[in-house]
Structure 1
Amino acid sequence: MTLLTSWPESGPGSVIRRTADPVEIAAVLAPLGVRYEQWPVRADVPDDAGSETVFAAYGPEIDRLTAEEGFTTVDVLGLHPGDDPEYPVRAKAARVKFLQEHTHDDDDEVRFFVSGSGVFYLHVNGEVHAVHCEKGDLLGVPRGTRHWFDMGTRPSFTAIRFFHEEDGWVATFTGSAIASRFPDHDTIAAARERDRGAA
């Protein structure tokens, strides 16, 4: 499911590591304070399922994580092509916002992918780690970590979001253009599909 690619922060000219092994991914991310888990995939949950269906399907996992981490707010965010005439505008605006490097001063960024995919880019200790998350993957980015997120040019995902603070998603943007120097979601997702085809 997950694919981790790491480069020097100077650019993607050389690859430090590239792995789809969950054990190796966890071992790389844990020293960075990044929480990485894989939850059971509920095959009976539609890709575009609403909040009620998602909460019912993943209730035990949500309750466990909330108790462990003391989250006060949990919600479901979905963005899918379809009959919504506002989708192109909403998708473009969301991508532009999340694609800028930022930090969260008062909260972690914790997401579980119910469906679809997205790439979290973690800019830590002179390296950029691209974590391509898919259905069943949970990633927790610690507060204060420089990062950005790409959902692709045609986003299609549903994610559970966990917050310690009631304010929800509040970012401090670094002003860096670093995100423009690294492969985007679509490039990484296409490489992931080629890997699957070759397996």
Structure 2
Amino acid sequence: MTLLTTWPESGPQTVVRRTSDPEAIAAALTPAGVRYEQWPLRETDTADPDAVLSAYAPEVARLTAEEGFVTVDAIALHPDGAPDWTRRTRPAREKFLSEHTHDDDDEVRFFVDGAGVFYLHVGAEVHAVLCERGDLLGVPKGTRHWFDMGTEPSFTAIRFFHEPDGWIGRFTGSDIASRFPGLDEIHAGYAA
């Protein structure tokens, strides 16, 4: 279930907003310039990037034409059964858990499968957007944010870039992300 939770930037002791209604999520995020959409679900081999891009070709073409993206790819991160899976994925998770911005590009992701949480630090609030299958989120360049894929990442996403070099983050140095519940806690029903 897609979920938006908004807290004051001071921490999660008080919930300002909590909703799973897609229209309410879009309405809450639009003033910050954040794009939120739900796309139709399609069956595809989520481990095959070409199959993923082919399955969602009409939506990818529409968004690329609207926004002028120059690079689109699909990434899959799913447990492979190896005993060192968590250890191997920890560096990727930790990289995105720190608050950062992007100077020259929006961060746009469509979740084909699995889940992740984008945290948007906008003004004096933090919006946690639990994205799941069918969700597209576009974080405007310059927006302070971070992302949690959980302790055992499992998702397939289509990524859109205006820059051919892809993801380039500028870390703020803030420890704000450490004050908020992660994907695992949100999935477990965190409700402070």
Equivalent residue number for residue 21 of structure 1 = 21
Query: Is 1:80–1:87's contact at 8 Å kept on the other side of the alignment?
Result: no
Question: 1:77 maps to what in 2?
Answer: 75
From 112, 124, 133, the equivalent of 1:135 is 133
Q: Residue 88 of structure 1: CA displacement?
A: 3.0
After TM superposition, list the pairs within 5 Å mapping 1:1-199 onto structure 2.
1-42=1-42, 44-46=43-45, 48-83=46-81, 87-191=85-189
Residues 48-82 of structure 1, C-alpha deviation per residue, up to 9 Å, x if partnerless? 43111101100000000000000000011111101
Q: CA deviation at 1:191?
A: 1.5
Per-residue deviation, residues 26-63 of structure 1 (Å, max 9, x unmatched)? 10000000000000011x224x4311110110000000
Query: Unpaired segments of 5 or more residues in structure 2?
Result: none
Distance 2:136 2:79 in 1: 23
TM-score between both structures, scaled by the size of structure 1 = 0.92
Deviation at 1:146, TM superposition (A): 0.2
**Greater than 2 Å deviation, 4+ residue runs:** 83-90
- What amino acid does structure 2 have at the position aligned with 1:5? T
Please list every run of 5 or more consecutive structure 1 residues that lacks an aligned counterpart in the other structure.
195-199
Question: Could you say what the CA RMSD is over the residues aligned between the two structures, in angstroms?
Answer: 1.5
- Give the Å deviation of 1:2: 1.4
1:75-131: per-residue Cα shift (whole Å, max 9, x none)? 111111014676434410110000000000000000000000000000001000000
Residues 53 and 184 (structure 1), Cα distance of their counterparts in 2 relative to 1, 3 Å cut:
same
| Residues paired across the two proteins, number | 191
TM-score normalized with structure 2 length: 0.95
Percentage of matched positions with identical amino acids: 69
1:129 is matched by which residue type in structure 2? H
